[in-house]
């Protein structure tokens, strides 16, 4: 970090200038010939591929990312597969990019050491981790959207390689996030003469709505015991926002990787200091890695560590072959990767305003031979370490750099030295330093390095805990909750909260505007105008209400009222550029190109990165005969966004050349190209450019939605006959604009598929009642099995019998699909019909013996029917490829062993029960779960104690009970029903202390409160808790716990 510099006397300044000039000339002669290169080639890599896209819409499981679909096929074995690898290289670094795997940086290596400072996984080992499933570790992953690994993380994205005029090389990668319809780009740039590479992000929201905002750049590095993290700050945040101390917690220096050998996986969002860097250093190996970006651009710094126990270690085996475990160091636009919850803190979900663009740059760099990272600038890395009466100073240059090193003890200067370094050059100095308690400051003018040992200098005063807010109006609480849910794409919950706000305060202007926006999202324009106009009847100048009224009027085709309302919205800086840009589009649709140009320019006056306004300007210029101006506008767009498909198509419209058409189509390389064409066509359609929209669709690959839109735009019902013959598989309409086209198709053709597509589109917009009505009206006409799996999901809440009919029909139509069996079995589980579940799972497991999902279904069905021994037999050979956080297979393993042990104890087969319980404590990793630190084995120990009692082994029984008791004392608040077994062994004083200190704490879980009540013989309170939490106390585990307790009183 830079701070104020000490000024020098003129003579010293002159001497320093002479020195720096001499060094600069010397270094220039050695660096002038340096260059960077870039190439793209096919490389064969061992690949564990993914497959089996789910034809059931993701609306049934994760509607936030609809219309994407999950992949559910993963392989235990690898095979060679060619991948397109882009290689960027200069004299100092190698950087590799994988455009077909989300555009991620595959890895980066520093040449002088040969060390990878960005972990490169030498195999593509896809596992079920991301929101859509497939994910592979290593490199730097670019995440844009809402939460977690972005939907394109494992699939091809658009890309372009560039040899820059300054001698650097770049690989641009990018895609559209379908769920938000925002566009993201990352320019990966390697300078010709630097020892770092940059990622420059461009993310823009071309929609008229606020969108969810989430960005984290996820870098990976090797995980070894000598790794120490350097993350400036004094706190870390949980995902919900609650703060904890950093870098010391639980008496451990958790900034050292090896000190994290406790609890489970770790997420540290470090905050509290105004600084621009973070990274890590391998002390034994003498190198490290780092990230630099201006604090205001990337304030987020997160560390993700797999558990150091086997529940984390197993993922080393699952995700790589030979490269070893990794950690993630993630840079973010926000403080944390937020998930709404009950945490009381000021961290919330951020939003992406309409027609806005965000840009930022980051630098990723290696460091070597200096011992760590104390301060970082764009030019160099500084590390300072007072040791044994000495101050060790190390500097690692990242580019050609020269400057004056100064060390101050308080106000006294103790060292001044001129230094000059080439990229990756190292400077080290050791000076006497009598006490580590003395404050000091180290600066290197010319390199931008400035470190002050006073921790208060850069400490933030920002609060990360929310104070109690007494007497907050309920309407305000409902409004805040509504906005939280809206920003997290939980639109049903948002609507309920906003309506609750308005019931309490009908004049809450912000809630009225927000509710109007929700209706706009759903395509309910008339209904949306009701709250919008109500807000304007209270405050006619309200910017938000005017803005949303304007886009609602526009959607209705009422351009006069749209322009009038948007004009008032434009009086506010918040909406000015977006409102003017939308007005430009309306004027173009009205064939007023001159006025459209004027308003587009006004939009750009206030936001030159309003991409929609600039695109509208280009179209208006072209259609009004201003071809030269249009070409200039297009070139400006391409300078901003070299992956702008709009710009390439406009170039084709301008010159009509076959080469321009090829350039346009050839640049669309992403996983779902039809969506790119369709998005561009709809943009032209909104601007009143029907012929241009049709020209785009003519170039698109044939698909159901593309063909429906072609028919709709040409008003050609006859064309629908061919569409009706196309497969509905993976057809997931989601756009608001598509509702009109699909209504038209359903009206003009009787094939069931058009009603099905329209139902999915309504469902995706949160209009579930309309969707259900359409699905119900189709009866049993469809011959598509996944229609019935989809409808069964919405039917089950109102008619289990009808849902069952659909599931049986799906299996009848496609009995060779494992999904039709799995969904039927799961339905029987939810309905508590375990005999029926077992009957189906038996046949399913016979037909699909290698499908571990059906294998687990069958094991559970056996357990629900108390057939423990056959379940154990299957578990002895079952092999599971898990998803991140999965523990279902382990729960089945424990259930089977506990159930069988209870049977054996009831039959007085005590030696057999002991063997079963000892087997319970094993962790066979073929089930996809590794052993964590301190697993909860109290129920098994309770049963072992009983079995040892019955076989005359009091010492072994006592040892088992001691384990049970000590575990409970170590983890008294672990929210498990098994805790009751430990509490029953405690003294009355221990229990009383726990009850006094923890019972009413908001952190005390339901199971703990129940266990305390039971142990203290407060049956009234225990019964009350059970009645309020029926699901917890009707589970198979609770039933086994009851049997265990009933076996005999605890000593």
CATH value at residue 500: 1.25.40.10
Same domain flag for 26 and 44: no
Paired tokens of 91? 């004299």
* 925 in a structural domain: no
Return d(Cα 912, Cα 903) in angstroms, integer: 10
* 500 in a structural domain: yes
Predicted local confidence at residue 885, as pLDDT: 57
Cα torsion angle, 851, 856, 859, 865, sign: negative
Paired tokens of 806? 């659909």
Q: What angle do CA 843, 844, 848 make, to 5 degrees?
A: 125
* 758 in a structural domain: no
Same domain flag for 415 and 356: no
Predicted local confidence at residue 15, as pLDDT: 42
Q: Distance of CA 1017 to CAs 509, 1010, 1014, Å?
A: 53, 10, 5
* 764 in a structural domain: no
From 517, 546, 574, give the residue that closes a domain: 574
Predicted local confidence at residue 780, as pLDDT: 97
127 Cβ contact list (under 8 Å, min separation 6)? 48, 74, 134, 135, 136, 318, 319, 881, 882, 883, 884
Residue with the bigger pLDDT between 220 and 439: it is: 220
| Domain extent at residue 409 | 10-31+400-452
Return d(Cα 240, Cα 348) in angstroms, integer: 8
Predicted local confidence at residue 27, as pLDDT: 45
| Mean pLDDT value across residues 672-676 | 98
Q: Are 347 and 271 in contact (CB under 8 A)?
A: no
The string of DSSP codes covering 308-328 is SSHHHHHHHHHH-SSS--EEE
**Is the predicted pLDDT of residue 340 greater than 90, yes or no?**
no
| Mean pLDDT value across residues 113-138 | 96
Q: Are 106 and 136 in contact (CB under 8 A)?
A: no
- Strands (E) located in 496-552: none
* 164 in a structural domain: yes
**pLDDT tens figures, 31-73:** 455 899 999 999 999 999 999 999 999 999 999 999 999 999 9
| Mean pLDDT value across residues 847-876 | 97
- The rounded percent of the chain whose pLDDT value lies above 70 is 95
800 Cβ contact list (under 8 Å, min separation 6)? 831
Q: How many CB atoms lie within 10 A of CB 921?
A: 14
Choice among 519-528, 665-674, 980-989 with the minimum mean pLDDT: 980-989
Return d(Cα 38, Cα 46) in angstroms, integer: 24
**Is the predicted pLDDT of residue 936 greater than 70, yes or no?**
yes
From 368, 388, 418, give the residue that closes a domain: 368
Rounded to the nearest integer, the mean pLDDT of the chain is 93
Predicted local confidence at residue 6, as pLDDT: 32
Residue with the bigger pLDDT between 887 and 668: it is: 668
* 1011 in a structural domain: yes
| Mean pLDDT value across residues 689-711 | 98
Same domain flag for 560 and 421: no
Alpha-helical segments (H) within 210-339: 310-319
Which helix (H) or strand (E) element contains residue 793? helix 785-795
**Is the predicted pLDDT of residue 992 greater than 50, yes or no?**
yes
Same domain flag for 55 and 73: yes
pTM of the predicted model, to two decimals?
0.94
- The rounded percent of the chain whose pLDDT value lies above 90 is 87
| Mean pLDDT value across residues 560-581 | 98
Same domain flag for 17 and 59: no
Predicted local confidence at residue 387, as pLDDT: 84
Answer whether the bond into residue 247 is a cis peptide, omega within 30°. Answer: yes
**Is the predicted pLDDT of residue 23 greater than 60, yes or no?**
no
Residue with the bigger pLDDT between 419 and 1001: it is: 419
Count of structural domains, the chain: 4
Q: Is 889 helix (H, G, I), strand (E, B) or coil?
A: helix
Same domain flag for 18 and 50: no
What's the distance, CA 593 to chain centroid?
42
Which helix (H) or strand (E) element contains residue 744? helix 738-748
From 368, 388, 414, give the residue that closes a domain: 368
What's the distance, CA 745 to chain centroid?
36
Predicted local confidence at residue 22, as pLDDT: 47
Q: What angle do CA 801, 804, 807 make, to 5 degrees?
A: 155
Burial class (CB in 10 A: 0-12, 13-18, 19+), 39: exposed
Q: What angle do CA 397, 401, 406 make, to 5 degrees?
A: 85
Q: Distance of CA 932 to CAs 306, 309, 314, Å?
A: 11, 5, 10
Predicted local confidence at residue 1, as pLDDT: 47
* 213 in a structural domain: yes
Backbone angles phi, psi at 397, to 5 degrees: -75, 140
- The backbone region for 523, taken as left when phi is positive above 0, alpha when psi lies in -120 to 50, beta otherwise, is left
Predicted local confidence at residue 10, as pLDDT: 43
Comparing CA positions, the residue from 1011, 1043, 1038, 1032 lying closest to residue 913 is 1043
Same domain flag for 263 and 140: yes
Give the model's confidence band at 24: pLDDT under 50 very low, under 70 low, under 90 confident, else very high: very low
Return d(Cα 249, Cα 247) in angstroms, integer: 7
Same domain flag for 530 and 500: yes
Paired tokens of 69? 């679909």
Answer whether the bond into residue 395 is a cis peptide, omega within 30°. Answer: no
**pLDDT tens figures, 887-919:** 899 999 999 999 999 999 999 999 999 999 999
Give the model's confidence band at 389: pLDDT under 50 very low, under 70 low, under 90 confident, else very high: confident
Q: How many CB atoms lie within 10 A of CB 356?
A: 21
Paired tokens of 680? 């561009």
Give the model's confidence band at 316: pLDDT under 50 very low, under 70 low, under 90 confident, else very high: very high
Same domain flag for 517 and 541: yes
Q: Are 135 and 14 in contact (CB under 8 A)?
A: no
Q: Are strands 440-445 and 401-409 parallel, antiparallel or unpaired?
A: antiparallel
| Mean pLDDT value across residues 123-128 | 96
Predicted local confidence at residue 433, as pLDDT: 84
Predicted local confidence at residue 1003, as pLDDT: 72
373 Cβ contact list (under 8 Å, min separation 6)? 230, 277, 278, 279, 280, 281, 288, 290, 367, 381, 382, 383
Predicted local confidence at residue 809, as pLDDT: 98
Residue with the bigger pLDDT between 545 and 992: it is: 545
**pLDDT tens figures, 586-607:** 999 999 999 999 999 999 999 9
- Strands (E) located in 802-870: none
Backbone angles phi, psi at 62, to 5 degrees: -150, 75
Predicted local confidence at residue 12, as pLDDT: 40
Taking only Cα atoms into account, the Rg of the chain, rounded to an integer number of angstroms, comes to 32
Cα torsion angle, 124, 126, 130, 132, sign: positive
| Mean pLDDT value across residues 126-150 | 94
DSSP letter at 701 equals P
Return d(Cα 383, Cα 375) in angstroms, integer: 7
* 253 in a structural domain: yes
Same domain flag for 404 and 495: no
**Is the predicted pLDDT of residue 964 greater than 50, yes or no?**
yes
End-to-end CA distance of the chain: 63
789 Cβ contact list (under 8 Å, min separation 6)? 56, 806, 807, 810, 819, 820, 823
Same domain flag for 237 and 358: yes
Max Cα distance, the chain (Å): 100
**pLDDT tens figures, 798-829:** 999 999 999 999 999 999 999 999 999 999 99
Give the model's confidence band at 614: pLDDT under 50 very low, under 70 low, under 90 confident, else very high: very high
**pLDDT tens figures, 625-648:** 999 999 999 999 999 999 999 999
**Is the predicted pLDDT of residue 16 greater than 60, yes or no?**
no
Paired tokens of 704? 């159901």
Same domain flag for 17 and 94: no
Paired tokens of 1024? 């009350």
* CATH code of 130's domain: 2.70.98.10
| Mean pLDDT value across residues 696-706 | 97
**pLDDT tens figures, 245-282:** 999 999 999 999 999 999 999 999 999 999 999 999 99
Backbone angles phi, psi at 466, to 5 degrees: -90, 130
């Amino acid at each position: 970090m830079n701070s104020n510099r000490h000024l020098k006397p003129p003579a010293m300044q002159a001497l320093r200038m002479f020195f720096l000039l001499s060094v600069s000339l010397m270094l220039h002669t050695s660096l002038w010939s340096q260059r960077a290169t870039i190439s793209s080639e096919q490389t064969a890599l061992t690949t564990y591929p993914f497959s089996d896209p789910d034809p059931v819409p993701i609306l049934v499981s994760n509607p936030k990312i609809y219309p994407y679909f999950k992949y559910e096929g993963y392989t235990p074995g690898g095979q060679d597969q060619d991948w397109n690898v882009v290689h960027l290289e200069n004299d100092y670094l190698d950087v590799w990019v994988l455009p077909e795997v989300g555009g991620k940086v595959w890895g980066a290596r520093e040449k002088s050491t040969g060390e990878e400072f960005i972990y490169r996984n030498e195999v593509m080992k896809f596992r079920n981790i991301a929101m859509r499933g497939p994910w592979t570790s290593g490199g730097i992953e670019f995440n844009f959207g809402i939460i977690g690994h972005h939907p394109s993380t494992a699939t091809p994205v658009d890309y372009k390689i560039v040899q820059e005029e300054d001698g650097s090389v770049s690989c641009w990668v990018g895609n559209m996030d379908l769920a938000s319809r925002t566009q993201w780009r990352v320019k990966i740039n390697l300078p010709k003469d630097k020892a770092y590479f940059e990622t420059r992000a461009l993310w823009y929201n071309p929609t008229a709505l606020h969108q969810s905002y989430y960005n984290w750049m996820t870098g990976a590095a090797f995980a070894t015991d000598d790794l120490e993290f350097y993350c400036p700050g004094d706190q870390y945040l949980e995902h919900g926002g609650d703060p904890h101390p950093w870098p010391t917690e639980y008496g451990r220096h958790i900034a050292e990787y090896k000190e994290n050998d406790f609890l489970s996986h770790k997420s540290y969002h470090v905050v509290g200091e105004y600084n621009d860097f973070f990274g890590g250093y391998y002390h034994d190996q003498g190198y490290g890695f780092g990230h630099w970006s201006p604090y205001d651009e990337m304030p987020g710094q997160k560390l993700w560590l797999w558990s150091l126990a086997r529940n984390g270690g197993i993922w080393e085996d699952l995700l790589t072959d030979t490269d070893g475990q990794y950690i993630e160091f993630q840079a973010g636009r926000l403080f944390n990767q937020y998930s709404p919850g009950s945490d009381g803190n000021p961290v919330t979900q951020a939003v992406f305003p309409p027609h806005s663009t965000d840009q930022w740059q980051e630098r990723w760099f290696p460091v070597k031979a200096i011992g760590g990272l104390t301060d970082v600038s764009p030019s160099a890395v500084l590390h300072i370490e007072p040791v044994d009466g000495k101050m060790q100073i190390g500097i690692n240059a990242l580019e050609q750099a020269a400057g004056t090193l100064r060390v101050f003890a308080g106000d006294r200067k103790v060292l001044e030295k001129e230094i000059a370094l080439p990229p990756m050059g190292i400077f080290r100095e050791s000076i006497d330093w009598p006490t580590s308690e003395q404050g000091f400051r180290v600066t290197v003018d010319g390199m931008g390095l400035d470190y002050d040992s006073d921790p208060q200098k850069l400490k933030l005063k920002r609060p990360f805990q929310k104070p109690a807010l007494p007497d907050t109006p309920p309407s305000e609480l409902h409004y805040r909750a509504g906005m939280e849910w809206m920003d997290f794409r939980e639109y049903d919950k948002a609507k309920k909260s906003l309506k609750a706000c308005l019931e309490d305060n009908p004049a809450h202007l912000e809630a009225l505007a927000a509710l109007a926006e929700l209706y706009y999202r759903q395509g309910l324009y008339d209904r949306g105008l009701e709250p919008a106009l109500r807000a304007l009847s209270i405050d006619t100048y309200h910017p938000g209400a005017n803005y949303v009224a304007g886009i609602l009027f526009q959607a209705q085709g009422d351009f006069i009222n749209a322009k009038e309302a948007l004009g008032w919205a434009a009086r506010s800086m918040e909406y000015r550029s977006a409102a003017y840009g939308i007005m430009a589009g309306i004027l173009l649709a009205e064939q007023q190109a001159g006025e459209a140009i004027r308003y587009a320019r006004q939009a750009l006056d206030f936001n030159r990165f309003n991409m929609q306004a600039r695109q509208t300007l280009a179209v208006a210029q072209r259609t009004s005969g201003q071809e030269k101006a249009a070409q200039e506008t297009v070139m400006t767009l391409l300078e901003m966004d070299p992956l702008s498909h709009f710009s390439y198509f406009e170039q084709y419209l301008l010159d009509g050349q076959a080469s321009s058409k090829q350039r346009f189509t050839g640049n669309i390389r992403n996983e779902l190209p039809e969506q790119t064409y369709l998005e561009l066509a709809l943009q032209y359609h909104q601007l009143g450019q029907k012929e241009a929209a049709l020209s785009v669709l003519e170039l698109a690959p044939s698909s159901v939605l593309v063909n429906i839109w072609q028919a709709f735009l040409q008003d050609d019902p006859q064309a629908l006959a061919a569409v009706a013959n196309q497969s509905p598989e993976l057809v997931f309409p989601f756009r608001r604009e598509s509702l009109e086209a699909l209504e038209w198709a359903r009206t003009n053709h009787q094939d069931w598929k058009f009603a099905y597509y329209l139902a999915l589109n309504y469902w995706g917009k949160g209009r579930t009642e309309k969707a259900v009505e359409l699905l119900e009206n189709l009866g049993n006409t469809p011959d598509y099995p996944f229609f019935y799996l989809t409808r069964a999901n919405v039917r089950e809440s109102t008619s289990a019998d009808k849902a069952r009919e659909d599931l049986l029909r799906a299996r009848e139509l496609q009995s060779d699909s494992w999904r039709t069996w799995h969904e039927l079995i799961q339905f029987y589980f939810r309905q508590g019909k375990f005999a029926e579940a077992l009957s189906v799972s038996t046949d399913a497991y016979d037909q699909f013996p290698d499908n571990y999902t059906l294998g687990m279904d069958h094991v559970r069905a056996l357990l629900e029917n108390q057939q423990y021994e056959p379940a154990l037999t299957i578990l002895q050979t079952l092999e599971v490829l898990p998803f991140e956080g999965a523990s279902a297979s382990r729960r089945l393993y424990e259930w089977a062993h506990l159930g069988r042990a209870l049977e054996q104890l009831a039959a007085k087969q005590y030696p057999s029960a002991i063997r079963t319980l000892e087997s319970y404590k094993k962790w066979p990793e073929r089930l996809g779960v590794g052993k964590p630190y301190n697993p909860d084995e109290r129920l098994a120990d309770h049963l072992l104690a009983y079995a040892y009692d019955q076989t005359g082994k009091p010492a072994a029984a006592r040892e088992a009970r001691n384990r049970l008791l000590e575990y409970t004392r170590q983890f008294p608040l672990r929210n498990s029903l098994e805790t009751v077994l430990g509490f029953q062994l405690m003294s009355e004083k221990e229990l009383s202390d726990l009850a006094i200190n923890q019972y009413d704490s908001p952190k005390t879980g339901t199971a703990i409160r129940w266990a305390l009540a039971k142990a203290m013989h407060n049956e009234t309170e225990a019964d009350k808790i059970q009645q309020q939490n029926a699901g917890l106390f009707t589970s198979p585990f609770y039933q086994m716990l009851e049997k265990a307790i009933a076996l005999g009183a605890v000593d």
